[in-house]
Amino acid sequence: MSLAELLNVETFKNTMRGLFDFEFVNTASKYRASDLNLEDSSDMAYANLINAESELGRTLFGPIPEGHQREFFEHKKNVWIWHDGWFDEIGKMHGTTIRYEVKPEGVFKKVAGEPYIRIKGEELDNFRNAAKMYLNLIKDNLYH
């Protein structure tokens, strides 16, 4: 499968989530993908799926420093979330959340309070590599 196909989120959902049964890592519960409403984020099974994927996605970027929280996952069709949070020396939480939107004309990122910008060059390559690694990781570890 090509990188472009791996980055096509709809292809991934249709092949992995739509056609196969899957089992969440470290749970005894078995879900059938066709029983989930993947467009309804209030669906508990959907939330469990996102949490399980994020648990794996946060491992892609190396060890997480003590006091940090990290998330990387596909939120919904063609929308990816990166979050890094940490506590400072007085215990105050800080964080950065970046939203990536994959569109036919490019990948756009939005940091809170800033406008969308199209990413390119090394940043685009890094995003593509992270998305490819994420899709392979969750395919290998979550979906049977």
What's the pLDDT tens digit per position in 113-125? 899 999 999 999 9
Q: How confident is the model at residue 42 (pLDDT cuts 50, 70, 90)?
A: low
The burial class, CB within 10 Å (0-12 / 13-18 / 19+), for 128 is: middle
**Chain mean pLDDT for the chain:** 74
Total domains present in the chain: 1
Q: Which domain holds residue 36?
A: 3-141
> Is the model's pLDDT at 11 over the cut of 70?
no
Number of helical H runs and strand E runs in the chain: 4, 7
pLDDT score at 103: 94
C-alpha 10/C-alpha 88 separation (Å) is: 39
What predicted TM-score, i.e. pTM, was given to this entire model? 0.65
Q: What are the tens digits of pLDDT across the range 95-138?
A: 999 999 999 999 999 998 899 999 999 999 999 999 999 988 88
